């Protein structure tokens, strides 16, 4: 009996490790976001229009992927899952994009990025309340290491150009909270036997619809049908959106510790920093390297199994 229980536990752990591997891959794909944003901005795109094209193309590509892989029946989901998808789209796509772009405008890129990566704190606290997940001493240390690592990686330790008003702080923290809810609401959406492709498709659809209705993004650019801009938007929708979210929800469906998800996904910041160095000749300082090491260390610490897990 003990041998059977041990084997079942081992299979469960292996499955969860594979799931976190998918979250890690998703983070790497999300690390290309800054590259596409800069390429699209160079073609005259605005923040709302970039977000809109990303979600629009991502939705179209994911809908096709779902039809090919799982068939039309995959779109027939339960009311609870549909409600979760609506919340994902509105909160974690629409409101998040608005808050994050506003935070960057008010606080500057460095502080806006740091406030965004308070997300693991919100995810851990919410997971403790909703899913009764436990946080031991090692996990709290890993969480602190992750937040500090993200701050150093994003800023290089330089906050000289930052300006932080109370409203800007509130908006920045709000961006971190709405980003954190992706893992929480996503786990609820995946509790039913549902295609991760369908969940990702509905998520992007409602997010795209929200931004279209609230921001009218096509009015914020001079040439919305610029061919090169649309091409970059298509690639953005494919790589950092359709592929990323399909892998993300596939991994999320078999994860029992939601609080770990944003920590593992923070590899996004490491990839983004490396891309910035090679693609845009951004500097790689000692402090940024220390930050990257801390981010990687936090992922390893959160992956460490203890007797209290």
User: What pLDDT shows up at residue 309?
Assistant: 56
Select the more confidently predicted residue: 211 or 280. Answer: 211
Q: Kindly report, residue by residue over 112-157, the tens digit of the pLDDT.
A: 888 888 999 999 999 999 999 988 888 999 999 999 999 999 888 7
Q: Is the pLDDT of residue 3 over 50?
A: no
Considering the entire predicted model, what is its pTM? 0.90
User: What pLDDT shows up at residue 148?
Assistant: 94
Lowest-pLDDT range, 104-108, 199-203, 207-211, 218-222? 104-108
User: What pLDDT shows up at residue 303?
Assistant: 75
User: What pLDDT shows up at residue 13?
Assistant: 58
Q: Cα separation of 198 and 182, whole Å?
A: 16
- Average pLDDT for residues 241-262, to the nearest whole number? 92
Q: Residue ranges of the domains in the chain?
A: 22-134+163-258
User: What pLDDT shows up at residue 10?
Assistant: 47
- Mean pLDDT over each residue of the chain, to the nearest integer: 89
Lowest-pLDDT range, 69-73, 103-107, 233-237? 103-107
Diameter of the chain measured on Cα atoms = 69
Q: Is the pLDDT of residue 5 over 80?
A: no
User: What pLDDT shows up at residue 302?
Assistant: 84
User: What pLDDT shows up at residue 91?
Assistant: 96
Q: Is the pLDDT of residue 171 over 70?
A: yes
Q: Kindly report, residue by residue over 31-47, the tens digit of the pLDDT.
A: 999 899 999 999 999 99
- Average pLDDT for residues 17-24, to the nearest whole number? 92
User: What pLDDT shows up at residue 17?
Assistant: 84
User: What pLDDT shows up at residue 164?
Assistant: 64
User: What pLDDT shows up at residue 4?
Assistant: 38
- Average pLDDT for residues 76-104, to the nearest whole number? 93
- Average pLDDT for residues 234-263, to the nearest whole number? 93
């Amino acid at each position: 009996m003990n041998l059977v229980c041990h084997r079942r536990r081992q299979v469960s752990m292996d499955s969860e490790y594979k799931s976190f591997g998918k979250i890690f891959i998703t983070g790497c794909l999300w690390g290309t976001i800054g590259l596409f944003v800069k390429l699209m901005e160079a073609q005259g795109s605005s923040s709302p229009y970039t977000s809109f094209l990303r979600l629009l193309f991502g939705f179209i590509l994911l809908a096709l992927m779902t039809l090919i892989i799982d068939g039309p029946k995959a779109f027939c989901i339960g009311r609870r899952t549909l409600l979760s998808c609506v919340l994902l789209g509105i909160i974690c796509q629409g409101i998040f994009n608005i808050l994050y772009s506003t935070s960057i405008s008010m606080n500057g890129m460095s502080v806006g990025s740091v406030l965004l990566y308070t997300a693991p704190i919100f995810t851990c606290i919410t997971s403790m309340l909703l899913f009764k997940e436990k946080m031991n001493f090692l996990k709290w240390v890993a969480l602190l290491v992750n937040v500090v690592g993200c701050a150093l990686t994003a800023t290089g330790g330089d906050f000289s150009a930052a300006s932080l008003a109370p409203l800007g702080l509130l908006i920045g923290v709000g961006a971190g909270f709405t980003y954190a809810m992706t893992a929480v609401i996503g786990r609820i959406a995946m509790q039913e036997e549902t295609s991760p492709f369908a969940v990702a498709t509905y998520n992007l659809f409602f997010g795209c619809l929200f931004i279209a209705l609230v921001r009218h993004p096509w009015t914020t650019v001079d040439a919305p049908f610029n061919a090169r801009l649309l091409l970059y938007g298509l690639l953005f929708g494919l790589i950092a959106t359709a592929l990323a979210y399909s892998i993300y929800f596939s991994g999320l469906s078999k994860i029992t510790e939601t609080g770990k998800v944003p920590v593992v996904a923070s590899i996004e910041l490491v990839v983004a920093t490396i891309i910035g160095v090679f693609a845009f000749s951004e500097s790689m300082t000692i402090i940024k390297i220390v930050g990257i090491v801390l981010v990687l260390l936090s992922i390893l610490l959160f992956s460490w199994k203890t007797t209290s897990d």
